[in-house]
Amino acid sequence: MSGWGAAPRAPTSCRRCRAPAEGEDMSMSSKDEKNLAQVLDKIAELADPDRSTMQQVHDVIMAAAPGLKPRIWYGMPAYARSASTPALLTLRKDERLNLAITEKAAFRAAGGADGGLMPAAWYFETVDAATEKRITEIVRSVVD
């Protein structure tokens, strides 16, 4: 075909660009449930003791801010205000487990001897009551 006209289009696989398949649920609650299942599956892939520690931290995060939506971000669990907004917190397993605040969260300078530095990542191997309390404070500081 030459000139102006409608060129044939290739089918798209983008969820937002195509009509839902028969019986496919495109609702946000379905997406949230799928994302949560992916996070729990990722945690389950870890070997103990990392698996149980990561699950414990996930539970603390969700208890501290039940409105956060977990999802996989760069291959590891992350938490955002909604399925379509940037992640605010991440959990990672590299050499050690760590909880980090992403650049999309509102940072507050530490002040004092730390001056303008902004704490953004915490490494841990186990989680005790004091660590749970600190994780709760971190999560709430990000979402409040």
Over residues 27-65, the pLDDT tens digits come to: 557 889 999 999 999 999 999 999 999 999 999 999 999
Architecture in CATH for domain 27-143 = Alpha-Beta Complex (3.90)
CB-based contact 76:42 (threshold 8 Å): yes
The pLDDT value recorded for residue 83 is 84
Cα→Cα distances 92→11, 14, 73, 76, Å: 36, 28, 10, 6
Q: Running DSSP on this structure, what letter comes out for residue 11?
A: -
Q: Domain spans of the chain?
A: 27-143
Helices (H), the chain: 28-45, 50-64, 129-143
The residues pairing with 5 across neighbouring beta strands, listed in sequence order, are none
Read off the pLDDT of each residue in 90-111 and give the average, rounded to a whole number: 82
Convert the pLDDT of each residue in 17-30 to its tens digit.
445 556 555 555 78
Coil, helix or strand at residue 105:
coil
**Is this prediction's pTM over 0.85?**
no
